[in-house]
Amino acid sequence: MDKDAQTEPLASMLKPGGQRLHDPEPVTDLEKAQRLMKELAISMFHASGTCAMMPREHGASSMHA
């Protein structure tokens, strides 16, 4: 899994020997990678959702979950 960090163009953007995760053990299998993603990853999207920005009279549609 470390090959991605050693491959260009990513390799030139990373600090050599830098720490990527706050986990002392290396990620050696998919299950551990998935667990860490669930614990550490955050969304780049707004957490509260979305809202309509156009009046219905102008053709806006409404989506209900």
pLDDT of residue 39: 85
**Does a structural domain hold residue 16?**
yes
* In a domain? residue 8: yes
Residue 31 is which amino acid? E
CB 4 within 8 A of CB 10: yes
Q: How many domains does the chain have?
A: 1
How do residues 14-30 score in pLDDT, each as one tens digit?
888 777 666 677 888 89
28 in a structural domain: yes
65 within a domain of the structure (yes/no): no
Give the span between the Cα atoms of 33 and 24, in whole angstroms: 13
Distance in angstroms (rounded) separating the CA atoms of residues 47 and 54: 21
Tell whether 63 is covered by a domain. Answer: no
Q: Is residue 64 included in any domain, yes or no?
A: no
Task: Quote the CA–CA distance of 52 and 34 in Å, as a whole number.
Answer: 34
* Domain containing residue 48: 3-58
43 within a domain of the structure (yes/no): yes
Alpha helices in 1-65 (DSSP H): 30-40
pLDDT the model gives residue 47: 63
